[in-house]
Amino acid sequence: MNYFRTALLLAGLTALFMGVGFLIGGGNGALIALLVAGGMNLFAYWNSDRMVLSMHGAQEVDARSVPDLYAMVAELSQRAGLPMPKVYLMDNPQPNAFATGRNPQNAAVAVTTGLLQRLNRDEVAGVIAHELAHIANRDTLIMTITATIAGAISMLGNFAMFSGMGGNRDNNGGMGIIGTLAMVILAPLAAMLVQMAISRTREYAADNLGAQISGEPLALASALARISDAAHAIPNDTAERSPATAHMFIINPLSGARMDNLFSTHPATENRIAALQQMAGAAGAGRSFLRPQAQPAHGPWGGGASRRGPSGGPSRGPWG
């Protein structure tokens, strides 16, 4: 079913891409856009995961560089019945994470250094389990391709604003300034609507399955609260430069400035927490979840603020 929806998404975004091409260059523009979209669809299917990881400066790590994190991913993957995904670390102070890959055999989980520094071990495990749930549910293909193509459409809109506003057009060459303005506004908006359509219910499903994988729904709820609080206080400059990838993260990484609210593809964090509380209650957890109060950040083993390594990169701290 997900493969059918992915094909449908690619077809819809291709049609949108052709419409943008028509507004820029008429019939010839639409034809060129079709050819470009076809090539981009193939490229996105095979390489969109690497593109997204590269956008966020993610570096692959292994059992030697970050042994505790790697061992945690391996254990949770085994519980979930999944192949071991690649593990990536992003040097970013905002706690957050995402999963990518076209299938479980070619998947990756990426976490920020801020996640390891600010959450405890159980909370990090909940986040990892949530991302593994996206992989198990085969959400990552459609989420990653959407991010790649939506980003390309937004870039095309910006290109049209600079290249099409003053150009001369004949009667068959497009819709002039009005058409260009409509395209600049509507093309990114249409891509955002697609992101919203595919993301909101999937987060609830990933929360549910992730809590089953980790066995700690309240730890995942606590993680969501901490990440949500931090996301409003700690900017994620990389995500701000690539807002079309925001729907991939466990919590929206955007600050809410400018047009960021249009990229709000996640359900309200409070609703997700309530669902996890209900799940814990049904399982007889016997303890209530309280939203954490402002307090000093502590890593999984009591680590403090981030430190820089001798090469200028992030110190691994308690995670290896």
Q: The domain spanning residue 220 has which CATH number? A: 3.30.2010.10
216 classed as catalytic: no
Q: How far apart are CA 99 and CA 135, in angstroms?
A: 7
| 253 compared with 315, residue with greater pLDDT | 253
Q: What is the largest CA-CA distance in the chain?
A: 72
What pLDDT does residue 240 have?
A: 87
What pLDDT does residue 34 have?
A: 78
Strands lying side by side in the sheet with 107-112:
59-61, 86-90, 107-112, 97-101
90-148 pLDDT per residue, tens: 999 999 999 999 899 999 999 999 999 999 999 999 999 999 999 999 888 877 777 77
What pLDDT does residue 49 have?
A: 86
Q: Is 153 within a domain?
A: no
Mean pLDDT over residues 155-178, rounded?
Answer: 53
138-164 pLDDT per residue, tens: 888 877 777 776 666 666 655 555 555
Q: Which of 61-65, 99-103, 201-205, 290-294 has the lowest mean pLDDT?
A: 290-294
What pLDDT does residue 1 have?
A: 54
What pLDDT does residue 212 have?
A: 96
Residue 25 has pLDDT above 80, yes or no: no
Name residue 226's amino acid: R
Q: Is 239 within a domain?
A: yes
Q: How far apart are CA 76 and CA 213, in angstroms?
A: 7
Which range of residues forms the domain containing residue 112? 54-143+176-284
247-298 pLDDT per residue, tens: 889 999 987 665 545 556 788 999 999 999 999 998 774 444 444 433 434 4
Nearest Cα to Cα of residue 146 among 237, 40, 220? 40
Report the residue count for the chain: 320
Mean pLDDT over residues 185-201, rounded?
Answer: 63
Q: Is 120 within a domain?
A: yes
What pLDDT does residue 285 have?
A: 45
Residue indicated by tokens 């089953």: 212
Q: Which of 75, 123, 131, 203 is catalytic?
A: 131
Name residue 222's amino acid: S
Q: Is 305 within a domain?
A: no
Most confident of 169-183, 252-266, 278-292, 305-319: 252-266
Most confident of 168-182, 215-229, 237-251, 258-272: 215-229
What pLDDT does residue 70 have?
A: 98
Most confident of 6-10, 182-186, 282-286: 6-10
Tokens in use for 170?
């004949």
Q: How far apart are CA 68 and CA 307, in angstroms?
A: 18
What pLDDT does residue 230 have?
A: 95
Q: Is 164 within a domain?
A: no
Name residue 118's amino acid: R
Angle, CA of 59, 62 and 64, to the nearest 5°: 125
pLDDT band at 235 (very low <50, low <70, confident <90, very high): very high
Tokens in use for 25?
């260059």
What pLDDT does residue 89 have?
A: 98
Most confident of 212-226, 276-290, 292-306: 212-226
Give the DSSP letter string of 4-31: HHHHHHHHHHHHHHHHHHHHHHHHHHHH
| 73 compared with 172, residue with greater pLDDT | 73
Q: Is 149 within a domain?
A: no
Q: Within 13 A of 306's CA, how many CA atoms are on the CB side?
A: 20
28-54 pLDDT per residue, tens: 877 887 787 777 777 777 877 898 999
Q: Is 156 within a domain?
A: no
Q: Based on the structure, what is the number of domains in the chain?
A: 1
- What value does the mean pLDDT of the chain take? 78
Residue 167 has pLDDT above 70, yes or no: no
Helix, strand or coil, per DSSP, at residue 302: coil
Q: Is 25 within a domain?
A: no
What pLDDT does residue 178 have?
A: 54
